[in-house]
Structure 1
């Protein structure tokens, strides 16, 4: 289910038109027509952030939506004010089943202020278009029941064709990530992930390799094989390559298509959201798709270890010792700390085979990240100051905040094992950091950054609450990494 984002005259051949402005531009709103002037004059619309009002008129476009962008003092910044206000307007229009086409007019100074936080006016308009597309997203497998209402078209003013193409590229990447993460485990298991990757490679002309069990065994990828061994669906490592020239970048995305916890079985309630444990891999797919469509000047490889973590007679067990691709031996302290094992093999393989200038990984890795930061920011850890700074700035520009945590050597002591080189868990305390310290053992000293997206990869009870995340998967990380790649 999807509509289309376009640019052009927002007041022609539409069912509704939305006007976006901040508190400082109420006079601009009042100049639109007498009806808007009357509503604003009464104080019934103050342009607060996410505030919307629906008006009806007899002449011209029959429905008018006013959507607020808040004030200059909003902590989220101007470009996020723009995104949120545009998305709120789209959400308001979607509540009206008779509205098929929505026009959006953005007050000029808001675009200019947003432009100052990024790469100029065209970039700011692109951000608004992507937010509109995200707010118009719905995932539905309804066979006979009523499907969610999606607008057939959202038209933004101002904008041009070049901006539109860039916005569509990023929006497609986010949609792909959300679709893959939202898909249930019986559809998007490791086999389904491989099929999705092959379809993407065929459509965009990407290189693709998939390592199945026989090759994983010959390479010694003990982490992927151990975690995936309990499932009837074989594990695999999916590798997509985009060659745009420039810096070599490797992105590893965790794709546990369903996480039952292995023999350290999760309680039933905790399993209800575990189809989202493939969100890191989903983001990696979205990133390479967007980079290819944008024709970014980078050589990008996406590595997606795809497994199911299930209990069976073939499952790996607590206190087992497994050998990883780079020769490190790992004592299993908990089979539900599986993501770091599959990520470690993929990181080590990427470091050795591709020798990237930059390594990134995205994973719904720890509940500790949610305890530390809630559902409003990803946890960021890195072994490289310059990369960490660039990624943190890219995350802020993208509206996907990341907060940096330390990776001091002292945390490694929590991972010590008496029978192997390391344990896969470091105890209850600083769990988000010890997980990152485990991954760091497999990057061969290359510049690397880790994003733990466990709190933000899908809409949970406590957020993230944004109008461009109606429900389900968020696609978190796609926009951040694209911003980083552009900055290179």
Structure 2
């Protein structure tokens, strides 16, 4: 779907349908004179007179089919008071836009329009700039059209919405609004790319496939890339990573992508580390058969980082130099399967990690922390960054604690945690700060190694975060390090559906990573 911004007079507006948003108790057409000029029939439409503006209420009105705007679709945002009291008001806005776009798609229409007069009123309700509304509108509209069924032999026969036009009244703030439109488009492309990877079946989306996708991104958008194979991983003494990969027929890959635009070569980078388990059987500590197929999405952390780089690439090709993120960012993705077989790691095995510390593997299904611990050590040793953020579908315990909407956030820095909480509320990638209670590490002590890879059942998500913390240094020359671990087991792959998410992989984390990089 092509998204466009125009400043043409209303007599030149053209679309199959114009969408208008309105709140309960308000008159949707009251301040939309330009729309009434191009579609005067809207003032006498019975459908619009009956429209009440309740949440996701729809009213579709028809004019003459030969007119430039032959249809008007009104959709309700609900109560103004409720809208203003919500913690993340854009959440409802995104879903309302998604509902409207899906309605247009069901009507087999191919072009849709929005007008500034209406969007200005919505911006006032939210207390934000028009550019914020445009960014969220475009982002939501594109996500509403995402289809999960890319592997089906019979494709949907619905017509595609090919054009979304936003009509402005003047050139005022045009450049800022255009930049916002491109951010919305680029973010949506990144999220959909992440969804595509995590929804893909594990016989297709292998570690090598992820490496190929990373190479394609690097080639298309001029990123730096390194892909380490098994022998190179072995040379780096990543014993924990290799222990997980032992039984897998698919060979592991250690992927490094770097965004380093001109002038940022000497910057201390932000480093993102993403878990890339392309299928998780649990190993010898075998998972139950029920829902094991969902473990194709256990590489959600790596998918989020690849989606983030896709967004960066799209922004860099959006036509304006101002859109290029002037920040050095590195993505590190250890990728492998966790399989069962004669070569599989056994419960009780002891491995030596990249840090030199030893780990007794008591549960082979606690594999994510094993590949991440080597990646975290490697990242700090090589780049000594000020910020490290790791993302992983790490523990079912976190999903049980926080549900499908919110990821757990663990950090050594309270201020950085609060910033991510604010970024999450703005982008819809919600996070909630969790304790790193050091006493819990007592249950992870081992008689035969420096530590075990699991602790007590209680506080499982905290135990996993504490395990990862052991592989980073926070003293001396590393005292500046601000580290965040995001356990995204809940929101990365979801069952409940809404108008911008049809279930399955959500693309969680892409916009959150963009917000971090844009503000640090």
Q: TM-score, normalising length from structure 2?
A: 0.86
Q: Determine which of 294, 300, 304 is the counterpart of 1:273.
A: 294
Q: Distance in 1 between matches of 2:299 and 2:278?
A: 5
| Aligned counterpart for 1:167 among listed residues 184, 188, 209 | 184
Which residue does the alignment assign to 2:318?
none
Structure-1 separation of matches of 2:329 and 2:384: 12
Change (3 A) 1:427 1:26: farther
Within the alignment, does 1:110 sit opposite 2:145 as a pair?
A: no
What is aligned with 2:442?
413
State the partner residue of 1:387: 416
Alpha carbons of 1:66 and 1:300: their partners in 2 closer, same or farther (altered >3 Å)? same
- Partner SS, residue 26 of structure 2: helix
1:187-221 CA distance string (max 9 Å, x none): 11001000000000000100000111101111111
Is 2:144–2:499's contact at 8 Å kept on the other side of the alignment? yes
Match of 2:396 in 1: 367
For residue 5 of structure 1, what is the aligned residue in structure 2? Answer: 3
Deviation at 1:451, TM superposition (A): 1.2
Corresponding position of 2:234: 217
Q: Does 1:329 align with 2:339?
A: no
- In the other structure, the counterpart of 1:131 is 140
Q: Is the 8 A contact 1:115 1:121 kept in 2?
A: no
Match of 2:60 in 1: 54
* Equivalent in the alignment of 1:453: 488
Q: Note closer, same or farther for the CA distance 1:77–1:36 as it changes in structure 2 (3 Å cut).
A: farther
Whole-Å Cα distance in 2 between the matches of residues 426 and 50 of structure 1?
46
Deviation at 1:338, TM superposition (A): 0.8
The residue aligned with 1:25 is 26
SS at match of 2:299: helix
Q: Calculate the aligned-residue CA RMSD, in Å.
A: 2.3
Equivalence for 2:477: none
Matched, 1:67 2:79: no
Q: CA deviation at 1:115?
A: 5.6
Shift of residue 40, structure 1, vs aligned partner: 4.7
Q: Which moved more, 1:102-111 or 1:167-176?
A: 102-111
SS in 1 for 2:448: coil
Cα distance in 2 for partners of 1:174, 1:115 equals 26
List alignment gaps of at least 5 residues for structure 1: none
**Number of residue pairs the alignment of both structures matches:** 477
| Change beyond 3 A, Cα 1:407–1:143 | closer
Q: 1:62 to 1:304 in 2, by over 3 A?
A: same
Look at both structures and tell me which one has the larger radius of gyration over its CA atoms.
2
Runs of 4 or more, structure 1, over 4 Å off, are 29-37, 157-160
Alignment deviations for residues 232-259 of structure 1 (CA, whole Å, 9 cap, x no partner): 0111110000114255200011111111
SS of the residue corresponding to residue 176 of structure 1 reads helix
Offset at 1:173? 1.5
Q: Of 252, 256, 263, which aligns to 2:277?
A: 256
Deviates more, 1:286-295 or 1:205-214: 286-295
Query: Is the contact made by 2:236 and 2:354 (CA closer than 8 Å) also made in structure 1?
Result: yes
* TM-score for both structures, normalised by structure 1: 0.91
1:37–1:204: structure 2 CA closer, same or farther, 3 Å change rule?
same
Q: 1:38 to 1:219 in 2, by over 3 A?
A: same
> What CA distance in whole angstroms lies between the structure 2 residues aligned with 1:143 and 1:370?
30
Which residue does 2:431 correspond to in 1?
402
Structure 1 range deviating more: 156-165 or 295-304: 156-165
Identify which range, 98-107 or 395-404, moves more after superposition: 98-107
1:485 Cα deviation after fit: 1.9
How far has the Cα of 1:51 moved from its partner?
A: 3.2
Deviation string for 1:252-291 (max 9, x for gaps)? Answer: 1111111111111112222121111111100011112323
Aligned to 1:269, what secondary structure does the other structure show? coil
Seen in structure 2, the aligned counterparts of structure 1 residues 285 and 148 have a Cα distance that, compared at 3 Å, is: farther
Cα distance in structure 2, aligned partners of 1:472 and 1:15:
31
Which residue of the partner structure matches residue 319 of structure 2? none
Deviation at 1:29, TM superposition (A): 6.1
Greater CA drift, 408-417 or 334-343: 408-417
- Aligned match of 2:110 in 96, 100, 113? 100
Equivalent residue, structure 1, for 2:472: 443
CA contact (8 A) 2:361 2:453 kept: yes
Query: In 1, Cα distance between the equivalents of 2:110 and 2:151?
Result: 20
